[in-house]
Structure 1
Amino acid sequence: MINVINLKTVLRNKRFLVFTIVFPAIWFIFMDLGIGTFAKNLTMTWFIISALMGIIGNSIVTFGKRIGNSKEYYLIAIKTTPYTPFRWIMDSMMQQILLNLLILCVLILEARIFGAIFFNLSTLLLIIILLLLGIYFSFVGFLIGVVAKTDLLDMAGFPFMCVVALLIMPFYTFAQNKFFDVVTDIQKLFPGYYVIKLANVIQNGGSYEKLAWLFALTFVIHVAIILFLFFRAVKKGIQ
């Protein structure tokens, strides 16, 4: 029941609809019908970027604020009822998976209507990777919502989303100098770095096993750290 109520609340939020669904969809149309006329080989990359726009906005900004606004209620529920921190995480992640899947479905439908991408096993693999990355970003947003104050989230939500985007942007494709080399080395510590690389390799029929393992390794390490910090914050909050 809590999941249904929260999902209805999010879907009625105009900011969610505009910034996580409508804006990425318009951006993809612009890139595909405009610039895409001259560079069709980048269509899948643009699809990934537009999907990440919606997923990051939903998972970090919108979700972080939602957790921040409701954390006092959940901390009281954990302290006074059988409701557990693990159940709180599972309920929240289920909601986020469904919302991110909605974002992907809208973009896939749009891309198919315009003939931009073809749905095959490679596309399905990328969708699964994007959903996993959405879970990762949701864990990040969840932790931010739990440990940060609500007014701080209002001020820092968009700048933080820009920082996350910089950790994904493939600087290695268009710039070669010491600064960008350092940035790229930092990006390699985060799972988002490997998504666009995976998209390019899969699209071109290359071997992607190593990239997939690096994505999985960084994903697991980061989620483990986030869960440790989350449970410590919850323990502190209910004392």
Structure 2
Amino acid sequence: MILKIQLLQVLRNKRFLIFTILVPAFWFLVLINIPFAKGALLINLVLGLTSVFGILGNSLTTFSKRISTTSDFYAIRGKTSYYSNFRFLLDQTIVQTVLNFLIFLIMVILGVVLSQISMSKTVIIIGVLSLWMGLYFSVIGFFLGTNFNAQMLDAASFPFMILGSLMIVPINIYNSTNIFMQIIASIQKIFPGYYYIDIINKATNHVTVPISSISYLILTSVVTLGLVTILINKSPFRN
């Protein structure tokens, strides 16, 4: 019952609908209709990017604020009822997974309706990777929500989105010799978004995805989550 209430609460949130559904859908429609967005690779990159941008917004803005405004209530409930903190975390994880899948599904439906996407193994791979990235950003959103108040999160939501996007957008996809591009690409390799795009690229080109790419995706997710936790704990702006 509580899980259903939490899910309905998010679906009725205008902020969720605008920033994590409508905005990514708008960019999907724009990107697939510009001249260079042709071919399976670019269409799959557009699908992967717009899906994860929606997931990013859901996790770092909507989810973090929801945690910030409700965590105290559920903490008290956990002490006075059988609804434990573990159950709270489990329910939030399920809600986030459902919402992230919904975001991805809407992008796929748009692509299918517009005859830009056909169901394939690559689309399934993108879906699985998107859910992984969703869990990654949800953990970050959870830590933000439990350590900062809603006002602070409102003020920082746009910078968070920009920073998160920079770690995902394939800056050097065409192997530019520009030194600045190469530096940014090197920094991106520290984060899982780089390997998310790399795996989509290889899957689209029917290249066997090496175990190393999957390993780096998992490893960078764990390591950067640890670094984010440390930075949050040392932040002077914590509650």
TM-score range, shorter chain: 0.7 to 0.9
> Counterpart of 2:103 in 1: which secondary structure?
helix
Structure 1-normalised TM-score?
0.87
Per the alignment, residue 28 of structure 2 pairs with 28
Shift of 1:230: 9.5
Distance 2:52 2:111 in 1: 15
Residue pair 1:36, 1:43 contacting (<8 A) in 2 also: no
Per the alignment, residue 138 of structure 2 pairs with 138
Per the alignment, residue 236 of structure 2 pairs with none
Per the alignment, residue 234 of structure 1 pairs with none
Structure 1 stretch displaced more, 169-178 or 133-142: 169-178
Structure 1 runs not aligned, ≥5 long: 232-236
Structure 2-normalised TM-score?
0.87
Count, aligned residues: 234
The residue type paired with residue 214 of structure 2 is: A
Judging changes above 3 Å, is the alpha-carbon distance between structure 1 residues 186 and 87 closer, same or farther for their aligned structure 2 residues? farther
Shift of 1:185: 2.4
Distance 1:129 1:207 in 2: 16
Per the alignment, residue 78 of structure 1 pairs with 78
Q: Deviations over 1:69-110 (max 9, x none)?
A: 112112223344444433222111100000011111111111
Residue pair 2:37, 2:43 contacting (<8 A) in 1 also: no
Shift of 1:223: 4.7
> Counterpart of 1:119 in 2: which secondary structure?
coil
Structure 2 runs not aligned, ≥5 long: 234-238
Distance 1:79 1:226 in 2: 28
Residue pair 1:168, 1:192 contacting (<8 A) in 2 also: yes
Q: What is the aligned-residue RMSD (CA, Å)?
A: 2.6
Which has a greater percent of helix? 1
Structure 1 stretch displaced more, 207-216 or 99-108: 207-216
Judging changes above 3 Å, is the alpha-carbon distance between structure 1 residues 176 and 146 closer, same or farther for their aligned structure 2 residues? farther
Shift of 1:227: 7.6
Residue 5 (str. 1) matches residue 5 (str. 2)? yes
1:1-239 matches, within 5 Å, as 1-35=1-35, 41-174=41-174, 175-209=176-210, 210-223=212-225
